[in-house]
C-alpha cells in the first residue's frame, strides 16, 4: 500500500473522529440548554419565578411557611425567594431587573409606575396597623414635639417618607417644620444613641430594642389607618406571559395564611427557627399587622368597596402630586391586576 493511500485513510479516520466529537459536544450543549429550563425553541421550561423580600413579618412569615410546607409546589410553581436585610435593597433589586417581583408597600408600587416601570399589583399581603412606629429620644414625648428636630425616613419619597408626612400633617406640622434625613430602619436606634436624629421610622425587632433602652414610641401606623399597605408587585410582562406562575404564587400564599391561622404554635415554631426571633417576639411583631386572607383580598381588589386599592391609590397619587413626588397621575387600572384574586 503506497504512502498516499495510507495518508488518505488517516485523514478520513481523523475526520470521522472529529465529526463524532462535534456531534457529541452538540448533544451535551443541547441537553444542558434543555435541563437548564429552556428548550432549543426558546420556550421557558422550569425556570423559577424570582421574588425579592426582606424580613417584614407581614409577608415573610407566610412566605416561609409556603416554602416549608411545599404549598408553592402544590400549585405547580417554582418560587425562588431572594432575601435582603433592608427593604430598599429588595425594592432596588426589582427596579434593577434582578427579580421578577417583590413584596413592598403599595405607595412604592405607585412610585414605580410613575417612573415608567411596567408593573402590576397582584396581591395584598397585609396592613401595618401599629407595626410601623416612630421611636424618639427621651425628651420627645409626641409628634408635636418634633418641630425643629431631625426625623429619619428609610428613603426619600418612599412609603416611609409618606408615613412620616402623614403623621406630621395629622399633628398640625408639615415637612418644612422638621429636618428629614435618611436612615434605614435597622439603624434608627444607633442614630438615636449617637444623637444624629431625634426620632425615626422603624419596626420590630428594632422597636423593642429601642424601648428597652429608654427611647419613646410616640406614634404608629395605627394612628394613620391604611397608610401602609403591603403588596406583591410583579413585572407586567410576567403577569401577562406567565399568569399561571403568578396565580400559583398567590394560591400558595393563601394556603400558608390559612395554615398560619389554623396551626399557630407549629407555625411560630418554624418561623422562630427560620428567623431566630423568639415566639414571644413573633407574637409582638404580629400584633401590629393584619395579614389578609382570600376574602379580604377580594374586598380590597374590588373597586366598589369603600376601602380598596383604587380608593387608597387615589389618595396616595393625590398626596404624591401635592408633594411634587410625581408629576402626572398614575393609571390605577393599568397598575392593579385583580384577575388573580377575583377570578
In sequence order, the 6+-apart residues with CB closer than 8 A to the CB of 45 are: 34, 37, 38, 39
Least confident range of 34-43, 204-213, 246-255: 34-43
266's grid cell: 407549629
Q: What is the pTM of this model?
A: 0.74
Give residue 196's pLDDT. 97
**pLDDT at residue 67 is higher than 90:** yes
**Residues 73-90: tens digit of each pLDDT:** 999 999 999 999 888 899
Question: Are domains 49-129+227-342 and 132-223 of this chain identical in fold?
Answer: yes
Residue 128's pLDDT is 85
Cell of 279: 415566639
| 158 vs 3, higher pLDDT | 158
> At residue 114, what are phi and psi to the nearest 5 degrees?
-65, -30
What pLDDT does residue 341 have? Answer: 96
Residue 148: HSE in the Cβ half-sphere, 13 Å Cα cutoff: 2
Q: What is the chain's mean pLDDT, rounded?
A: 86
336, pLDDT greater than 60: yes
Distance of CA 175 to the CA centre of its chain: 27
Contact 151, 197 (CB under 8 A): yes
Arithmetic mean of pLDDT, 282-287: 77
Closest by Cα among 234, 222, 230 to 105: 230
In the predicted structure, residue 38 carries a pLDDT above the cut 50? no
The predicted structure's pLDDT at residue 2: 52
pLDDT of residue 43: 32
Q: Which of 44-58, 105-119, 239-253 has the lowest mean pLDDT?
A: 44-58
Cα 152 to Cα 48, 144, 186, 228, 320: the distances in Å are 37, 16, 12, 17, 19
Closest by CA to 333, choosing from 236, 241, 242, 232, is 236
Q: Where are the domains of the chain?
A: 1-47, 49-129+227-342, 132-223
Is pLDDT above 90 for 53?
Answer: yes
Q: Which CATH number applies to 132-223? A: 3.40.190.10
**Gap between the Cα atoms of 18 and 15, Å rounded:** 5
Which option is the CATH number for 49-129+227-342: 3.40.630.30, 3.40.190.10, 3.90.550.10, 3.40.1190.20?
3.40.190.10
Question: Cβ-count burial of 306 within 10 angstroms (0-12 exposed, 13-18 middle, 19+ buried)?
Answer: exposed
Reported as a single tens digit per residue, the pLDDT across 89-110 is 999 999 999 999 999 999 999 9
Cα–Cα distance measured from residue 325 to residue 234, given in angstroms and rounded to the nearest whole number: 22
Q: What is the pLDDT of residues 175-192, one digit of tens each?
A: 999 999 999 999 999 999
Hey, which residues does 336 pair with through a beta bridge? Answer: 121
Taking residue 192's Cβ as centre, other Cβ atoms within 10 Å add up to 26
**For residue 327, what pLDDT band results from cuts at 50, 70 and 90?**
confident
What does the pLDDT average to over 45-51?
A: 81
pLDDT tens for each residue of 9-37: 454 454 445 444 444 444 433 334 333 33
Q: What is the mean pLDDT of residues 195-208?
A: 94
Q: Confidence class of residue 158 from pLDDT cuts 50, 70 and 90?
A: confident
Which is higher by pLDDT, 31 or 165? Answer: 165
Is 293 in contact with 136 (CB distance < 8 Å)? Answer: no
Amino acid at each position: 500500500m503506497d504512502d498516499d493511500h495510507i495518508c488518505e485513510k488517516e485523514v478520513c479516520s481523523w475526520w470521522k473522529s472529529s465529526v463524532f466529537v462535534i456531534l457529541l459536544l452538540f448533544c451535551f450543549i443541547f441537553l444542558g440548554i434543555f435541563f437548564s429550563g429552556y428548550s432549543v425553541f426558546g420556550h421557558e421550561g422550569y425556570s423559577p419565578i424570582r421574588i425579592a423580600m426582606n424580613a417584614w413579618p407581614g409577608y415573610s412569615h407566610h412566605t416561609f411557611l409556603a416554602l416549608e410546607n411545599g404549598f408553592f409546589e402544590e400549585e405547580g410553581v417554582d418560587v425562588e425567594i431572594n432575601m435582603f436585610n433592608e427593604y430598599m435593597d429588595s425594592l432596588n433589586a426589582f427596579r434593577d431587573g434582578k427579580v421578577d417581583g417583590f413584596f413592598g408597600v403599595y405607595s412604592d408600587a405607585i412610585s414605580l409606575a410613575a417612573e415608567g416601570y411596567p408593573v402590576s399589583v397582584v396581591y395584598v399581603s397585609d396592613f401595618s396597623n401599629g407595626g410601623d412606629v416612630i421611636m424618639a429620644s427621651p425628651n420627645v414625648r409626641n409628634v408635636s414635639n418634633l418641630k425643629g428636630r431631625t426625623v429619619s425616613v428609610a428613603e426619600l419619597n418612599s412609603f416611609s417618607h409618606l408615613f412620616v408626612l402623614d403623621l406630621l400633617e395629622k399633628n398640625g406640622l408639615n415637612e418644612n417644620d422638621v429636618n428629614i434625613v435618611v436612615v434605614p430602619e435597622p439603624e434608627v436606634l444607633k442614630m438615636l444613641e449617637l444623637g444624629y436624629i431625634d426620632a425615626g421610622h422603624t419596626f420590630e425587632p428594632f422597636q423593642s430594642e429601642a424601648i428597652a433602652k429608654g427611647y419613646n414610641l410616640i406614634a404608629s401606623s395605627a394612628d394613620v389607618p391604611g397608610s401602609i399597605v403591603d403588596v406583591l408587585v410583579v413585572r407586567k410582562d410576567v403577569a401577562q406571559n406567565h399568569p399561571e406562575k403568578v396565580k400559583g404564587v398567590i394560591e400558595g400564599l393563601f394556603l400558608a395564611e390559612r395554615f398560619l391561622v389554623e396551626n399557630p404554635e407549629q407555625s411560630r415554631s418554624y418561623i422562630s427557627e427560620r428567623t431566630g426571633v423568639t415566639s414571644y417576639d413573633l407574637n409582638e411583631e404580629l400584633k401590629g399587622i393584619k395579614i389578609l386572607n382570600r376574602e379580604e383580598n377580594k374586598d380590597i381588589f374590588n373597586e366598589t368597596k369603600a376601602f380598596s386599592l383604587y380608593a387608597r391609590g387615589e389618595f396616595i397619587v393625590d398626596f404624591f402630586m401635592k408633594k411634587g413626588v410625581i408629576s402626572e397621575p398614575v393609571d390605577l387600572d393599568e397598575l392593579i391586576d385583580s384577575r388573580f384574586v377575583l377570578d
